[in-house]
Amino acid sequence: MAELRKCIGSARFGIEPHDAPVEDFPSQPSQKDGLGRMCKTQWNQYTAGLAREAKTRKAAEGDVAAEAAATESGTPAPTGKRPGAGRTREKADVAQERATG
C-alpha cells in the first residue's frame, strides 16, 4: 500500500484537509522533507483561487480609480468600450458630406 501524507487544504477556498499518497505531492526543496504541504490537485485549486481573487481585486481597484478620475475631471466614467469604437461610421458620413457638399 502507498504511503499516505496529510494534505493541509485551505479553509479560505473550501479545500478540506485529507490524506493523499506521497507521490501526489510536488517537490519543495525548501521544506525539511523536500515535499509540498498540499497535493498537486489541491495546490492547483488553491492557486486558481488566488488568481481569481487577484483579478477581482484588480478590476475593483480599476473601477474605483476610473470613477475617481471621472469625478475629478467632470467627464463620465469609461464604459469599458474600446476607444474609438463607432467612429468609423462618423468619419464615413463626414467624408461623404465633404464630397457632395
Q: Do the domain assignments include residue 38?
A: yes
Weakly modelled stretches of the chain, pLDDT under 50? none
Domains: count for the chain: 1
- Whether residue 18 lies inside any domain: the answer is yes
Q: State the pLDDT at residue 56.
A: 93
Q: Specify the pLDDT at position 64.
A: 72
Please report whether residue 71 resides in a domain.
yes
> Whole-structure pTM over 0.85, yes or no?
no
Domain that holds residue 48: 4-78
Residue 101 lies in a domain: no
**Dist CA 101 CA 94 (whole Å):** 10
Q: Does residue 99 sit within a domain? A: no
CA quadruple 62, 64, 68, 74: dihedral positive or negative?
Answer: positive
Q: What is the pLDDT of residue 82?
A: 60
- Evaluate whether residue 90 is within a structural domain: no
Q: How many CB atoms lie within 10 A of CB 43?
A: 18
Q: Is residue 45 part of a domain?
A: yes
The pLDDT value given to residue 85: 57
Is residue 54 situated within a structural domain? Answer: yes
Reduced DSSP (H G I as helix, E B as strand, rest coil) percent helix, strand, coil of the chain, to 5: 50, 10, 40
